[in-house]
């Protein structure tokens, strides 16, 4: 199934929706304008049911096929932006200082809306399609909150699919794999306590800077020496600060912050345990002490094998047999679509955004040429998963 003619005809309109969302980015659960616009459009399309407020500000639309059927397929898009100033200079650049759609959620929302419009018009399937518009993917756990609100059971969803753009992958291409496709992400903060003193008399102090330096080096051994080398993991220290800024003072306290990313639940526990061991023992060798605050974030995003094979077959119908592969996956970023995949089988798919700035970059912009491909993929998933008898 190539790009659908009706989708191609609506490309300009869907692009206008996308650019409107881009101009008005909203963060985390505060996606009130976006959610209201989505709900209004779904009602105008003729969805059989539109429910707002799932997972605080999520929106769900229910579309029944022209034939009854037991199958219920869920399609999910995210709506929130990032707290990042935009530098694109585009005519439709963000009008909200310090916020922009730097991950393409504006495009994800627009593509799923385009698919919903088509499905409402044609209804060439037997069963039910549930379109899911989620808030707070960027660190707020909106997917988790929608699941807590009973998303899967309330709408009878038996399989669920997600789609995310990927810069560097050509437009019209898809990438995915069965099993782990995106990493779990955890954060840690380490507070080091020593004894402050004069920089000219280090023997009378316990230098927290030296302790921090050794901790940073030791943390690099977590992946290189504690993690199975065939299993992916990343430990990164992303911030260091102290309680002073004078040139001649050895600070009393210092702090580290960082992230841990893993593709395996066992290795996730190994990393947490190993970091805990280093924090509890290494500073003592210098006469210092340290406290660890380790917080688990999104779990590993794990595609179920059967649904992934199905999603790949559909992507090949849309894009051509040679344009779907696993070369770009897995990715060590995290995704809270993982919570939905913990409740129902399904697959997370990457779609090419072309040669653009990377995700979470202030120069990023979603490529509107992707829209017909993404919309056609969504429609094809529904019509292929829930075929009519005639």
- The residue-averaged pLDDT of 160-176 equals 96
Q: How far apart are CA 374 and CA 327, in angstroms?
A: 19
| Structural domain boundaries, residue 366 | 5-181+300-385
Bridge partner list, 273: none
Phi, psi of 252 (to 5 degrees): -70, -35
> Nearest CA to 160 among 361, 348, 328?
348
Last-in-domain residue among 263, 296, 329: 296
> Rounded to the nearest 10 degrees, how much is the dihedral formed by the CA atoms of 41, 42, 45, 47?
-170
CATH code of the domain in which 369 resides? 3.40.630.10
Specify the pLDDT at position 2.
59
The pLDDT tens digits of the residues spanning 285-301 come to 999 999 999 999 999 99
Tell whether 42 and 175 lie within a shared domain.
Answer: yes
Tell whether 133 and 145 lie within a shared domain.
Answer: yes
CATH code of the domain in which 266 resides? 3.30.70.360
Tell whether 131 and 219 lie within a shared domain.
Answer: no
* Residue 322 banded pLDDT, cuts 50, 70, 90: confident
Helix axes 32-45, 105-122, angle to 10 degrees: 20
- The residue-averaged pLDDT of 260-277 equals 96
Specify the pLDDT at position 320.
85
**Residue 327 in this model has a pLDDT that exceeds 80:** no
Domain membership of residue 390 (yes or no) is: no
Report which secondary-structure segment, H or E, holds 132. Answer: strand 126-134
Tell whether 28 and 155 lie within a shared domain.
Answer: yes
Q: What is the DSSP letter of 231?
A: S
Tell whether 13 and 142 lie within a shared domain.
Answer: yes
The pLDDT tens digits of the residues spanning 73-96 come to 999 999 999 999 999 999 999 999
Mean pLDDT of the chain: 96
Q: Is 87 or 245 the better-scoring residue by pLDDT?
A: 87
Report which secondary-structure segment, H or E, holds 348. Answer: strand 346-352
Number of domains in the chain: 2
Tell whether 32 and 132 lie within a shared domain.
Answer: yes
**Residue 1 in this model has a pLDDT that exceeds 60:** no
CA neighbours within 13 Å on the CB side: how many for 340? Answer: 30
């Amino acid at each position: 199934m190539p790009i659908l003619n009706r989708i191609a005809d609506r490309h300009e309109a869907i692009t206008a929706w996308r650019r409107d969302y881009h101009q008005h980015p909203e963060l985390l659960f505060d996606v009130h304008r976006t959610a209201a616009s989505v709900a209004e459009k779904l009602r105008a399309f003729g969805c059989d049911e539109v429910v707002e407020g799932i997972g605080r500000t999520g929106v769900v639309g229910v579309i029944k096929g022209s034939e009854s059927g037991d199958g219920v397929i869920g399609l999910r898009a995210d709506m929130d932006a990032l707290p990042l100033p935009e530098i694109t200079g585009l005519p439709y650049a963000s009008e909200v200082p310090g916020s922009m759609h730097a991950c393409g959620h504006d495009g994800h929302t627009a593509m799923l809306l385009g698919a919903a419009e088509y499905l409402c018009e044609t209804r060439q399937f037997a069963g039910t399609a549930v379109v899911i518009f989620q808030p707070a993917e960027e660190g707020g756990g909106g997917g988790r909150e929608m699941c807590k609100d009973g998303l899967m059971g309330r709408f009878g969803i038996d399989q669920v699919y997600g789609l995310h753009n990927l810069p560097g992958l050509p437009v019209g291409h898809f990438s995915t794999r069965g099993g782990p496709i995106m990493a779990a992400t955890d954060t840690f903060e380490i507070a080091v306590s020593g004894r402050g003193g004069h920089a000219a008399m280090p023997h009378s102090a316990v230098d927290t800077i030296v302790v921090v330096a050794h901790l940073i080096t030791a943390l690099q051994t977590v992946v290189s020496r504690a993690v199975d080398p065939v299993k992916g993991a990343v430990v990164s220290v992303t911030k260091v600060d102290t309680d002073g800024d004078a040139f001649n003072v050895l600070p009393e306290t210092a702090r580290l912050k960082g992230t841990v990313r893993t593709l395996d639940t066992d290795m996730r526990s190994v990393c947490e345990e190993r970091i805990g061991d280093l924090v509890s023992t290494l500073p003592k060798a210098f006469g210092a002490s340290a406290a660890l605050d380790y917080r688990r974030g999104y779990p590993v995003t794990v595609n179920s094998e059967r649904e992934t094979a199905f999603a790949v077959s559909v992507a090949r119908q849309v894009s051509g047999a040679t344009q779907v592969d696993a070369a770009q996956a897995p990715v060590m970023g995290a995704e809270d679509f993982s919570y939905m995949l913990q409740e129902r089988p399904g697959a997370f798919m990457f779609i090419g955004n072309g040669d653009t700035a990377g995700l979470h970059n202030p120069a990023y912009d979603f490529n509107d040429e992707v829209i017909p491909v993404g919309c056609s993929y969504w429609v094809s998933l529904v019509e292929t998963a829930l075929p009519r008898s005639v």
